[in-house]
Chain A
Amino acid sequence: MSAGYVAVQWNPYKRRYDAFVCGAVVLYLGMFGFVGKLLFRGEHALSDEVLALRALGSCAFLMLSVVLCIGPAARLDRRLLPILYNRRHLGVATFLVAALHGALALGYYHGFGRINPLLSLLTTNTSFTSLRAFPFQLPGAAALLILFLMAATSHDFWNRNLSARLWKWLHMLVYPAYGLVVMHVALGALQAQRTWWLAALVCACAATVTTLHLVAGSRERAADRGRTSMIEADATAWLEVGRVDEIPPDRARIACAPGGERIAVFRYDGRISAISNVCAHQGGPLGEGKVVDGCVTCPWHGWQYRPADGQAPPPFTERVATFRVRVDGRRVLVDPNALPPGTPVEPAFVEESCDA
């Protein structure tokens, strides 16, 4: 969270992470080239350009698979959350490697003719009904275009100016992009190279990505559809969140309002407050964060909000919805009707000694 924009939001952790990613990419490309030269010799020898094409393409495919695994894996195991915080840089690095692969392929296969290379790419092969001769470059180019849009709008400047909602929708295009990349590989590399291990590697990557997403998605869906207990009081249907002592100090318990958004109910300094679980930045789960310096801190990028009014501390202006709270005996109840973002709500006071 910052008051202004900087080109790249680096901190010591992100620098280390980016250095690791750069090192891993260079090592992979070097190893690929070295092993490729050893394996393909004599009449089967590959030119440097083709080796570089394969190295960059396989590297981009593996990187995109890893990027897509991070989100659901972090939802299934919270120890992976630190990787999630740095996912954006890995995504941009993936685009750069994929763009190098695309540029090299365009120049090598379409750059020496009389027509424009891009026009050549789009018009040369029209065997759309053949599996073996399908113009596999087209799904690859479409995926690269999506990755470009994502990388170009990855900065917080675009997040703020496009609105968090539109930004998130735009960046979810990475899923169809992955489908296009798998199509590109299956109709391209897997048709030319018939080694079993290559097919097994591609299948394993695609299976891991899809399985992780389906498992994490079904778990989230079950949480959204979970049974909720409503209590009628003061002409309001209150949502029962749980007992006071079930909320750890400076942490939250997440309640799922029937048909509505999730609510993060925080306990801090002997008080209970409820705000939307959706961060105004990128929709991060505020209820999985904690109260730091009196402010709820989003676990994704550290954006902060005051628990009693859902407003970011000055000079920031972001706001999230708040909810009325009451404590009945030791039960915490929340009015599931959201108040306008930034509305101050009197916290419910609790006896801290009742935890014992």
Chain B
Amino acid sequence: MTRAHRRWHWYAWLVLAPLIAAGMFAALAGRGVPPVQPAPASADARARE
């Protein structure tokens, strides 16, 4: 590879790495808390007994 290509590789990943990391963080943080699954009806019935 030429020197210019090596430099391009380096700067491309220097930019991409934090972008990917920040993107992943934002996407995972943006998911929020998973909704609580309702208890099965049979469990509700047992609890009432």
Question: A residues near B, CB below 8 A?
Answer: 131-132, 165, 168, 172, 175-176, 178-179, 182-183, 186-187, 190-191, 194, 199, 202-203, 206, 210, 213-214, 217-218, 220-221, 224, 260-262, 278, 283-285
Docked Cα-Cα span, A202 to B20, in Å, equals 11
Count contacts between A and B, CB distance < 8 Å: 82
Known: A179-B23, A194-B34, A210-B13. 6 other contacts (CB 8 A): A206-B20, A217-B6, A217-B9, A217-B10, A217-B14, A220-B9
Docked Cα-Cα span, A194 to B3, in Å, equals 43
Q: How far is the CB of B34 from chain A (nearest CB, A)?
A: 5
Q: Is the CB of B5 within 8 A of A224?
A: no
Q: Is the CB of A218 within 8 A of B10?
A: yes
Q: Is the CB of A172 within 8 A of B12?
A: yes
Selected contact of A175 from candidates B16, B21, B24, CB within 8 Å? B16
Q: Is the interface of B mostly helix, strand, loop or mixed?
A: helix
**Sampled A-B contacts (27; CB under 8 Å):** A131-B30, A168-B5, A172-B8, A176-B16, A179-B19, A183-B23, A190-B31, A191-B31, A194-B34, A199-B28, A202-B24, A206-B20, A210-B16, A210-B20, A213-B17, A214-B17, A217-B6, A217-B10, A217-B14, A218-B10, A221-B6, A221-B7, A224-B6, A261-B3, A278-B1, A278-B2, A283-B2
Docked Cα-Cα span, A191 to B26, in Å, equals 11
Docked Cα-Cα span, A183 to B6, in Å, equals 25
Contacts of A178 in B (CB 8 A): 16
Q: Is the CB of A186 within 8 A of B27?
A: yes
Q: How far is the CB of B38 from chain A (nearest CB, A)?
A: 13
Docked Cα-Cα span, A178 to B1, in Å, equals 21
